[in-house]
Amino acid sequence: MSKSELIEGVDAQKLANTIRALAMDAVEQAKSGHPGMPMGMADAATVLFSKFLKYDPSEPNWPDRDRFVLSAGHGSMLLYALLYLTGYADMTLDEIKRFRQLGSKTAGHPENFLASGIETTTGPLGQGLANAVGMAMAEAHLNARFGDDLVDHRTWVIAGDGCLMEGISQEAIALAGRQKLNKLIVIWDDNSISIDGAVSLSDNTDQKARFAASQWNVLSCNGHDMADVARAFEAATKSDKPVLIACKTTIGFGAPKKAGTAKAHGEPLGAEELAAAKAALGWAHGPFEIPDDIVKAWRAVGARSAGARELWQTKMKRDPLRDAFVAAMSGGNVEAAIAALGMQAAKMAAEKPSLATRASSGAAIDSMFDACPELLGGSADLTGSNNTHAKGSADFTPENREGRYVRYGIREHGMAAAMNGMALHGGVIPYSGTFLSFADYSRPAIRLGALMGIRVIHVMTHDSIGLGEDGPTHQPVEQLAALRAIPNLHVFRPADAVEAAECWQAALLNEDGPSILALSRQATPALRDDASENLSVRGAYELLPAEGGVSKVAIFATGTEVALAAKAREMLQAEGIPTRVISAPCFEMFELQDEAYQNAVCGDDEELKIGCEAAIGQGWFEAFGLDAFVGMSSFGTSAPAKDAYKHFGITAEALVETAKELL
């Protein structure tokens, strides 16, 4: 340790020990938490926040701030301590005293929506690292679009061994390496300890060689030698590639008995060990007590980028791209996209094409892509299948940062998490594609997007057994139900080209959560000839009324099955049975409607209600008060789409038969 160094007139080591003390005290008081990581990384974090990170607690959302991501989210007290000490108004000492208590801003793992300065929600390992890749991509893109004066910042990550063991890390690392994200710096808390004990119990990967294999620059430092840490950080800022810094630390640094062991990881140190640790660190203060001079020094540390922020604001004011930048950062061009989609919907209503809904979605993207420069597309190596590539758009690459299409590679999980990072960064609206079946691969990131409440649009094609020959591994059956189960996620399944444009509108307007667009591989007929109102945003609506009397049957369907419902209605009407068809492109938005609307759509108890979706029925009965459901109850099968539908009895004839049986 370089004890002699002073920061703002105070022994740097003391500043670091403040973090350690707060972490120990907060975990002890909460009777749960993770003291070891904050204690291990306190020195490196002190160097980062006092010398390198560009941030301003007085303006936490300053667009050109560096992003700091605590990917090892269990070390949340490290972040909370730093936010409090550097002067973020949200983070008071009282909040730290209420660590992990109901309603506090100091949740067990950092939740970005609870306090400013928390850039992303972490805890599920590897996610923060992958978010950071997306943040760095957003920065690179916006830098190319708006120039150095407006956008020029780094993304710093602290990742643990767990982050690096999770598979998502490989997807993130390889994507970052390919994209040469030289302003991405990952500090690996290399403490050789995981929950079960030594990391070597389960891993002997040479992490430095692994990152180098994916075209990163790799540095090392002693995480308890501040000068050495500063040297590594300084070198990292000059890299032409993303950088890994292997920062060798001792977990629970300072705790006489538990340091360097798994016992320091995830539980309070206990009164005795805590006291001994404070003694060993020379910290002679009671719980949550911090001498004024130390608080003062930390606040001075926190103020060090205020000048840079002011300068940026000055530059910003006179920048010719100012308005465009403000619009981008506030999502202002969404309105133009909405308008373009409205035109597209009207066009489709007039043309009435028979198209796969993935193709309708592709046309919708084409229609709005130029109007909304914030849209940043991509696909997990299924571009032609997902119809996500807007006509004429260029790839985002190291050579062309202005490109607006990302070749994510076969990395659904890393892609979804990177999109989360982009949305969190701001200035871009990320969307990208894969098959609906592979929503399972990206599910942890989709969930975090929903928890964080951020606008990320997941295009998911090949949305049923209708994908045909690829078979049950690729045919989603339970994915729609499983996605609808995630709180705050909107799952859209449009029925034709008009609904596809409408659902895109709804997804873009859903600023506070992610959306799924479930789209078909196979063609489906046009059903709407009027697009004067966006009916999809009601979640479910009567597409076809009953004729010739009071409705006896109501068929509720989504996506390609709405056409089956329409055909079944025709057959039932021909037999004199008045039948309605309700298209239900988004269950979640239907739930948001008032009761009167819901009741009007659902009809009364006298009417027979049948649901239809080429998927399992879970959730359908309670959503619409169904009497019966025509769908799947097993995995699919490899066969041409028509054969598969017939095999599983998902046909207009089956709907008619079901209706007549139950009437």
634-663 binders of its own copies (CB under 8 A):
634-635, 637-640, 643-644, 647
221, 245 in Cβ contact below 8 A? yes
Complex with its own copies: residue 177 or 254, whichever CB lies closer: 177
- In angstroms, the Cα distances linking 373 to 333, 345, 416, 428, 503 are 7, 20, 20, 8, 19
* Identity of residue 264: A
Q: Which stretch binds its own copies (CB under 8 A): 97-105, 285-293, 570-578, 602-610?
A: 97-105
Binding its own copies (rule: CB under 8 A), the pick from 384, 511, 548, 575 is 384
For its own copies, what does the binding mask look like between residues 462 and 491, x meaning CB under 8 A?
------xxxxxxx--xx--xx-xxxxx---
Question: 662 among the known binding-site residues?
Answer: no
Cβ-based nearer residue to its own copies, 156 or 629:
629
Flag whether 470 is marked binding.
yes
Length of the chain: 663
Per-residue contact flags (x/-) with its own copies for residues 420 to 459, judged by CB under 8 A: -----------------xx-xx-xx--xx-xx--------
The footprint of its own copies on residues 164-203 (CB under 8 A) is: 165-171, 174-175, 177-178, 194-196, 201-203
Q: How far is the CB of 40 from its own copies (least distance, A)?
A: 17
Report whether 34 belongs to an annotated binding site.
yes
How many angstroms separate the Cα of 227 from the Cα of each of 2, 3, 9, 39, 218? Answer: 7, 10, 16, 18, 18
Across 118-225, the runs of DSSP E, i.e. the strands, are 155-159, 184-190, 193-194, 197-198, 217-222
Residue 547 annotated among the catalytic residues of the structure: no
Query: Around Cβ 286, how many Cβ atoms within 10 Å?
Result: 8
Measured from the CB atom, is 3 or 391 closer to its own copies? 391
Contact set for its own copies, span 394-423 (CB under 8 A): 395, 407-414
Among residue numbers 581 through 620, which ones bind its own copies (CB under 8 A)? Answer: 616-620
* CB-nearer residue toward its own copies: 298 or 431: 431
Query: Between 169 and 505, whose beta carbon lies closer to its own copies?
Result: 169
Beta bridge partners of 292: none
Among 205, 314, 400, 599, binds its own copies (CB under 8 A): 205
Report the alpha-carbon angle 388-163-38, nearest 5: 130
Does 474 appear as a known binding residue? yes
Mark residues 330-369: x for contact with its own copies by CB under 8 A, - for none. ----------------------------------------
Query: Which amino acid makes up residue 199?
Result: V
Burial (CB count within 10 angstroms: exposed 0-12, middle 13-18, buried 19+), residue 141: buried
Closest CA to 521 of 354, 356, 638: 356
Q: How far apart are CA 278 and CA 268, in angstroms?
A: 14
Q: Which of 8, 111, 374, 412 is catalytic?
A: 412
Ranges of H-type helices in 556-613: 561-574, 587-591, 595-602
Give me the least distance between CB of 171 and its own copies, in Å please: 5
Instruction: Considering the complex, state which of residue 477 and residue 553 has its C-beta at the smaller distance from its own copies.
Output: 477
Shortest Å distance, C-beta 484 to its own copies:
7
Q: Which of residues 99-128 bind its own copies (CB under 8 A)?
A: 100-104, 107-109, 111, 121-125
Closest CA to 298 of 2, 4, 7: 7
Sheet arrangement for strand 553-557: 541-544, 579-583, 553-557, 608-612, 628-630
493 in contact with its own copies (CB under 8 A): no
Catalytic residues, which ones? 412
